[in-house]
Chains A and B, each alone.
Chain A
Amino acid sequence: MSATWLAVILGTLGCYAFKLAGASVPGPVLDQPHVSAIADALPIALLSALVVVQTFAVGMTLQLDARAIGVAAAVVALLLRAPFIVVVVVAAAVAAAVRALGWLP
């Protein structure tokens, strides 16, 4: 089995296990202050780390390229309260333009 299929299948099973756990596990196990505080913080930490890595990393090297300009444009779109699809399209379009003009790789 390819690594991608392995990730797809095991990732899916893991995600479903968590979905089912909430509905099945007795309340007191999950309903503890530190558990729910960490659960609140996890998406923020993981998503922010993913933003940074996907913007600046190429494998194990850091690189400033057109992606960063695209993400900066996405920040502007978010500040202007643009919907998800607009944010994503703006980022892609700006990065593509920066590359087409040869300003950054």
Chain B
Amino acid sequence: MSDEQWQRERRTVITNALSVGAATGAYGISFGAIAVTGGLSLLQTQVLSALMFTGGSQFALVGVLIGGGGAASAIATSVMLGARNAFYGLRLAPILQVSGWRRAAAAQLTIDESTAMTLARDERRFAGRGARLAFWLTGLSVFVFWNASTLIGAVSASAIGDPRALGLDAAIPAGFLALVWPRLKDRRSWSIAVGAGLVALVLTPFLSPGVPVLAAALVAVVAGVLQVRRPGGGAAS
């Protein structure tokens, strides 16, 4: 493999990492704004972006708290949403080949974006160097953009008087919708989405806030079990 080819691979990886970082930055602004207008302190909001650092879970934690849910259901919802990162880590482990503190750092950067960019590189080329570079650069780029934009959103939101007058309460479900939208690819995913939505809707008048969302997770369990039982219906990726 020539040096020129590696240089080209390197440039592609760097460009992609920066564009993905910038794109998540836009999303970080909305997270910061929503968290602070929802009643979290600036520090709590920033701790989530720096230490939890997995967008869907952060939005879920804040969303459940804003909706009047208790700490327990907020924690359960966000941690369950973060469970997918374990499966990303499983896919990434043979590519990254890290141990000790590097593994601890790699785990923190294991999110949707870094995983997608890493798996998009051909790991057989350049002995996996391109894939590894994609992981670390995308992870760091998203981390920097995500935290900077969270701060910008959080600080500007502190200046907002009435979040409802600006429609920020509609921005929260719209954000969740935009997160789930790319996952709705086929009939199966739509059935899960509609089923879970209905379960949460029907249970809302009967259970304390936050619990209906947890109950809807059972739809995923049923769907997962059914998929495996169906002949030839092995799990996707």
Contact = CB atoms under 8 A, between A and B. Distances in A.
B is bound to A: yes
Chief secondary structure at chain B's binding surface:
helix
B127 interface: no
B221 interface: yes
Among A21, A23, A46, max chain B CB count under 10 A is at A46
Interface stretch (B9-17, B78-86, B118-126, B140-148): B78-86
Interface string A2-46: 011111101110111011111111010011011111111111111
Interface of A is mostly: helix
Size range of the chain A interface in the assembly:
35 or more
A33 B228 contact: yes
B135 to A, nearest CB: 12
A73 to B, nearest CB: 8
Nearest to A67: B170
Given A22-B90, A54-B63, A49 B174 contact: no
A76 B87 CA distance: 32
Determine which residue in A15, A16, A36 has the highest number of CB atoms from chain B within 10 A of its CB, and name it.
Answer: A15
A60 B204 contact: yes
A82 B205 CA distance: 34
A48 B167 contact: no
A103 interface: no
B93 A92 contact: no
A99 B171 contact: no
Nearest to A59: B68
A45 B167 CA distance: 25
A7 B74 contact: yes
Contacts of B116: none
A46 B106 CA distance: 26
Contacts of A19: 54, 82, 85-86, 89, 107-108, 110
B192 A39 contact: no
A61 B205 contact: yes
Contacts of B167: 66, 70, 91-97, 99
Kindly name the residue among B85, B167, B198, B224 whose own CB sees the greatest number of chain A CB atoms within 10 A.
Answer: B167
A46 B74 CA distance: 12
B44 A87 contact: no
Interface of A: 3-8, 10-12, 14-16, 18-25, 27, 30-31, 33-57, 59-62, 66-67, 69-71, 74-75, 78, 83-85, 87-97, 99-100
